[in-house]
Structure 1
């Protein structure tokens, strides 16, 4: 098999027409250039150059080799570009997060995709448990969760925090515990977790979510507040999800005496190779939360 480096040296020599300047261009010695040309001649067992002092001309075989070698050298250069150039922004990146986080992140990641046509965003909204499981099973490239993972395969780094909000119908501001019990709870995939975190810090009567009647359930982040706006119950959601609801005048975001923030964690499977395109998305995610 011919060494492609020899072919590149031979083509450069023919293009420049001078051994010394070829050596300078390729950061080689002049004897190194001559040696690689001789190795090509030994390989084909024919002379490639007719030397005349410091000048030379090509033999018929030399001209034929130059024509073919140019194509090979160009092809190898294109291969370098295809493999290395912009590899960090080409291909599919699979992400999962709770819906509240996705409402904030997804539009920004689509803006990133607009900048790099080779990038494909695969974004799924899911509760923490599903994100954690998908990471452990290597079904996604990265996840964002509102709690640390307990699985050994998943590593988490603190990303940001997001305030939890008690959301009631507009007709029921500053609700007492009695009012909440009467309203009942609109549940969602992370409902028990969010409600327990916020209510336990602000209502001494609260012991667990089973104390509340479940008046509805939705796993669609943009629909969870719809029954609340109709007066059918209350719920607890992160700020981004609440602020994204269209009918703000129909709900009440209640300021409580003991605010609770959920920490957000950038989560990865530590056994999975981190592709450069995934790192590019991670950088964009961090930037998104740093701008808050």
Structure 2
């Protein structure tokens, strides 16, 4: 196999036609250039340059090697650039988060991508466990979760809190337990979990009997307030899901006397090298949610 360092020296010499210029260009000594040429000739088993007094010319074998070798040297240079290049605004970044956070964050990141067209944002709405699994497997670059992971292969940082709110039809100004019980609960994938956190902190009746009449179910985070807006029930949702509803005049979000919120943790794999594009998106997420 041809030594690519010697080959680069030879091709540079063929282009400059001067040992001193070659040495200067490659930050070598003239004797170092001569040694590379002699070693390459020994490796190839042919003379590559014919010395004539203080000058030289390429032999026929040297001309052939230069023609073929130049393309190899250039290709290796491009390969090195591609491997070591780490652009901040180019490439794919894979993000996962709960649906509520995604409703706020994804449109913001799309606007950022529009400003930097070589970026490709892949966004998935997912529960905590799926996000953590994707991070550990390497199929996600950034994850947002509401439970701090204990996996030592991940690093996590608390970047903000998201309030839980009771959401009722617009005509209900002060939600008491009687009103809520009569309405019934519009459930969703995290509904019972969120309801338990918020209602148990504010209603003794719920603590005594943590059961709600179910008035419906929706698994699309952006549409959960829809049946509420039609007077079919109430629900408990994180703030960002409420803010994203397209008909806010038809619902009312209530901050109860004992506020309850979920901490948002930004998580990445623990690794020595984090691509600049991932670092850029991490900072944009912090800017939007902190």
Q: Quick check: 1:287 aligned with 2:287?
A: no
Matched residue SS, 1:211: coil
Alpha-carbon separation, structure 1, partners of 2:211 and 2:161? 28
Alpha-carbon separation, structure 2, partners of 1:144 and 1:208? 34
Evaluate the alpha carbon distance shift between residue 69 and residue 164 of structure 1 in structure 2; reply closer, same or farther with a 3 A threshold: same
Deviates further, 238-247 or 93-102:
93-102
Match for residue 226 of structure 2? Answer: 226
Q: Could you tell me the TM-score, scaled by structure 1's length?
A: 0.86
Match for residue 147 of structure 1? Answer: 147
Match for residue 41 of structure 2? Answer: 41
Deviates further, 14-23 or 24-33:
14-23
Q: Give the aligned length.
A: 288
Give the CA deviation at 1:69. 1.1
For structure 2, the residue ranges without an aligned partner over 5 or more in a row are none
Q: Quick check: 1:175 aligned with 2:175?
A: yes
Alpha-carbon separation, structure 1, partners of 2:202 and 2:54? 91
Give the aligned CA root-mean-square deviation in angstroms: 2.7
Evaluate the alpha carbon distance shift between residue 127 and residue 44 of structure 1 in structure 2; reply closer, same or farther with a 3 A threshold: closer
Alpha-carbon separation, structure 1, partners of 2:232 and 2:207? 22
Match for residue 80 of structure 1? Answer: 80
**Cα distance per residue 1:166-217 (max 9 Å; x no partner):** 2111011221122112112111122222222222333333328842112111
Alpha-carbon separation, structure 1, partners of 2:274 and 2:142? 13
Alpha-carbon separation, structure 1, partners of 2:230 and 2:66? 79
Match for residue 251 of structure 2? Answer: 251
Alpha-carbon separation, structure 2, partners of 1:241 and 1:16? 66
Match for residue 67 of structure 2? Answer: 67
Give the CA deviation at 1:261. 2.5
The answer to whether the Cα contact below 8 Å between 1:166 and 1:234 also exists between their aligned partners in 2 is: yes
Alpha-carbon separation, structure 1, partners of 2:139 and 2:66? 49
The answer to whether the Cα contact below 8 Å between 2:141 and 2:278 also exists between their aligned partners in 1 is: no
The answer to whether the Cα contact below 8 Å between 2:93 and 2:277 also exists between their aligned partners in 1 is: no
Deviates further, 244-253 or 80-89:
80-89
Evaluate the alpha carbon distance shift between residue 280 and residue 91 of structure 1 in structure 2; reply closer, same or farther with a 3 A threshold: closer
Give the CA deviation at 1:263. 0.7
Alpha-carbon separation, structure 2, partners of 1:141 and 1:209? 42
Alpha-carbon separation, structure 2, partners of 1:129 and 1:147? 9
Q: Could you tell me the TM-score, scaled by structure 2's length?
A: 0.87
